[in-house]
Amino acid sequence: MLPSERLKGLDVFVSVVERGSFASAAERLNLTSSAVSKSIARLEKRLQARLFARTTRKLALTDAGSVFYQTCLRVLADLEEVETQIGAEYVEPTGRVRIDLPASFGQLHALPVILAFIADHHLLMPHISMSDHFVDLVEERIDIVVRIGGPNTWPTALGHRYLGAERLIFCASPAYLARRGTPQLDTDLEQHDRVVYGRSDGLVNSWLFAGAGAAPLEQRVMPGRIAVGDAAGQVAAILAGLGIAQLPTWAVKQQVEQGLLVEVLPQLATDGLPINLVWLKSRQYLPKVKLLLDVLANSLTPSGRV
């Protein structure tokens, strides 16, 4: 079935629901009651489901009809928004937009950029969630996500922009290093307390070590004294003097610049996971999505904000 054919009858169906009867919907659409009835019948045949439970006294939606009605409202709202905005030289972004951000990176860097944008666009109504797990943009109708890591090949329904790879460094607090000494070699880390990233499955992420010259990266599982499943939590632990951690510069840049943390073993610093900006292609030309994508792409870097 052609995509355009799927739109046939949606406006009639929505009108029947909103007006409560075929006759009232026909009057609103300037059609005959027979034409409205036939349109609904064709729609039900195509969907292979009854949309209305008909009685002598009233017209009520079936469960399938209720689900289909909510979907129709979203589709027709999107079409109306595009029609009113296409061709305009400038249009104020309006309406709801769904955004999902990584927990720590989002809180520290992406959210301030979005909040500044929202402050200048009062008709925008964002729904911002934060998570580090995989999200299905199509299924969950999320317009934009920022993701650390991701697939090698993105689904065709999604657009994406590579922002760069995070830079991983080893760091600790001055108080910890004064008490336990500063490691000079990677093997020295075995004698230190380590703060690692703990996953929800009970395992810990490996540490990455840069190889000499053209040597490949080496991954080592380094059991830690403390495992925290959040970069901000790891930073809090090493600020408290509880050990050494391998962290991305976007998480510790400010603390290192202020002297609250010290980078150690700089020769072992290496690139980590890629940071990507991802969006639904079907929504990318809506001003509220396009403008947000532009500001995020121009403001976010692997080390944080520009």
pLDDT in tens, 102-158: 999 999 999 999 999 999 998 899 999 999 888 888 888 899 999 999 888 888 889
Is the pTM higher than 0.95? The answer reads no
What CATH number does the domain located at 93-306 have?
3.40.190.290
Residues of the chain with CATH 1.10.10.10: 3-85
What does the pLDDT read at residue 99?
97
Domain 3-85 maps to which CATH number in 2.130.10.10, 1.10.600.10, 1.10.10.10, 3.20.20.70?
1.10.10.10
Residues of the chain with CATH 3.40.190.290: 93-306
**What gap in Å lies between CA 167 and CA 270, rounded to an integer?**
6
Per the DSSP assignment, residues forming a β-bridge with 60 are 53
| Buried/exposed code over 89-100 (b: 16+ C-beta within 10 A; e: otherwise) | eebebbeebbbb
171: left (phi over 0), alpha (psi -120 to 50) or beta: beta
**What gap in Å lies between CA 45 and CA 305, rounded to an integer?**
53
Residue 91, pLDDT above cutoff 90? no
Per the DSSP assignment, residues forming a β-bridge with 278 are 145, 160
Torsions phi, psi for 172 (to 5 deg): -155, 170
**What gap in Å lies between CA 156 and CA 138, rounded to an integer?**
11
Pairing of strands 95-101, 144-148: parallel
Dig out the tokens for 284 from the structure.
């990318």
* pLDDT tens-place string over residues 149-208: 988 888 888 999 999 999 999 999 999 999 999 999 999 999 999 999 998 888 999 999
Report the mean per-residue pLDDT for the chain: 89
